[in-house]
Amino acid sequence: MSEEIVRLESVNKIYKTGDTSITALAETTIGFESNKLTLIMGPSGSGKTTLLSIVGCVIYPSHGKVFYKDKEVTKLSENKLADLRLHDIGFVFQQFNLLEPLTALENVMQPLLLQSVSKKEAKEKALKALEAVNLSDRIHNLPKKLSGGQKQRVSIARALVTNPTMILCDEPTASLDAKSAAIIMEELKDLAREGKAVIIVTHDLRLRKFADKIIYVEEGKVSNSIQNEEDYK
């Protein structure tokens, strides 16, 4: 049973710098559901990260409304928004955003500690999440002592560790070889099957076979979503 988690109603995003304004996202009405792995595809600069950032309540749209489970996000204060992100949303950013002075394990523990989970429980959960992405042998490494693909996997573990309702990933397989990418995608697909809304921005055509739904973005315009019937079971 899938349920709409996030809804964008007549949303757009315009960036103004000096006299020029860039429409990063043209007016869009779209919903994202639980139990689905949704891919957002499109060329560089087309507005994919902008769309994902609005869905993830990281940025407010210029116009329009965003609803998270019937709650109007665009009416929430910054504090309430931060709370929603911390408890309900897991992010895997395009640039990983790991904290450099912290080890892989400490990075993954971080969101739990922010939620005031005990150190002991945070450590147990973080170890499990790192095991799920095959990184048990690198838990004490600092980010600078990890490869790009390993950093990517730490950031995926960090997104999963709080058991969020929605998982948003920006190019989660960009630094991974085919085998590691397939392992991560299977893991993300399992999470969708367990009921989460998994939304992934990617250029990687190989990922299409894992998708339940594919959305294309071009020059800020979001096309009608396509159900991936072949793979949708």
Ligand X SMILES: Nc1ncnc2c1ncn2[C@@H]1O[C@H](COP(=O)(O)OP(=O)(O)OP(=O)(O)O)[C@@H](O)[C@H]1O
Q: Which residues bind ligand X (CB under 6 A)?
A: 15, 17, 22, 24, 42, 44-50
HSE, side-chain direction, 13 A CA sphere, residue 206: 15
**Closest to Mg ion by CB, 132 or 200:** 200
β pairing state of 89-92 and 166-170:
parallel
Residue 148 partner contact from Mg ion, ligand X, none using kind-dependent CB cut-offs of 5 to 8 Å = none
The residue ranges that bind Mg ion (CB under 5 A) are 49
Q: Output the smallest distance, CB 147 to ligand X, in A.
A: 21
**Closest to Mg ion by CB, 38 or 162:** 38
Q: Output the smallest distance, CB 27 to ligand X, in A.
A: 15
Are the C-beta atoms of residues 39 and 217 closer than 8 Å to each other? no
Q: Which stretches of 63-147 are DSSP H helices?
A: 78-88, 104-114, 119-132
3-state secondary structure of 203: coil
Residue 162 partner contact from Mg ion, ligand X, none using kind-dependent CB cut-offs of 5 to 8 Å = none
Residue 195: DSSP 8-state: T
Measured distance CA(110)–CA(64) in Å, rounded: 33
Q: Output the smallest distance, CB 159 to ligand X, in A.
A: 18
Q: Output the smallest distance, CB 103 to ligand X, in A.
A: 28
Contacts of residue 147, defined as CB under 8 A and 6 or more positions apart, other chains included, come to 175
Residue 15 partner contact from Mg ion, ligand X, none using kind-dependent CB cut-offs of 5 to 8 Å = ligand X
